[in-house]
Amino acid sequence: MKKDLIVIKKYSNRRLYNTDESKYVKLDEIAQLIRDGFDIKVIDTTTKEDITKQILAQIIMEEEKNKKDILPTSLFYKIIRSNQMFVRDFFENYFLQTMDAYLSYRQAMEEKLKEMQDVSRLPLEMGDLFMKSMWMMGTGAYPFDKKDKK
């Protein structure tokens, strides 16, 4: 059974310990946990501070270092040059909502494409999708006066 939150302890020797699995982990393993849908909370064992944001930023920087090119350089310049409260407000109020909407849209499209993998049904489903979109964009009259409006 998956847990929603996994607590990671960071020791003074910089090692990270997954309390859920009782083992030491590396940053790439923590990144995989996050990709698998888990949230994490990282606690510094010396200070008892929550250092989750620092570890998440470190994961992103490691991926950048490994040439995954996640974020454009211009974004880093803008963050550094901008008012800190403005940046925080932007990320909390706009970026997260936009990212959530994009991820929902992408997931819906991926599910639809999986449904349409049966090549023999592809022309029929695409035609139906086209007809529905034409109906939605038009005056509300279903093309060709079909009686079974969907």
Q: Is 41 helix (H, G, I), strand (E, B) or coil?
A: strand
User: For residue 147, is pLDDT > 60?
Assistant: no
Q: Are 29 and 15 in contact (CB under 8 A)?
A: no
Q: Count of domains in the chain?
A: 2
> Do residues 100 and 63 share a domain?
no
Instruction: Please identify, among 52, 70, 88, the residue that sits at the C-terminal boundary of a domain.
Output: 70
The whole-chain average pLDDT of the chain stands at: 82
List the domain range (segments joined by +) for residue 47: 1-70
User: For residue 36, is pLDDT > 80?
Assistant: yes
> Do residues 15 and 65 share a domain?
yes
Specify the pairing of strand 16-18 against strand 39-44.
Answer: unpaired
Instruction: Please identify, among 21, 54, 70, the residue that sits at the C-terminal boundary of a domain.
Output: 70
- Name which of 67, 7, 65, 60 is nearest 35 in CA terms: 60
What pLDDT score was predicted for residue 1? Answer: 41
- Would you give the distance in Å from CA 69 to the centre of its chain? 16
Give a yes or no: residue 149 inside a domain: no
> Do residues 61 and 76 share a domain?
no
> Do residues 16 and 48 share a domain?
yes
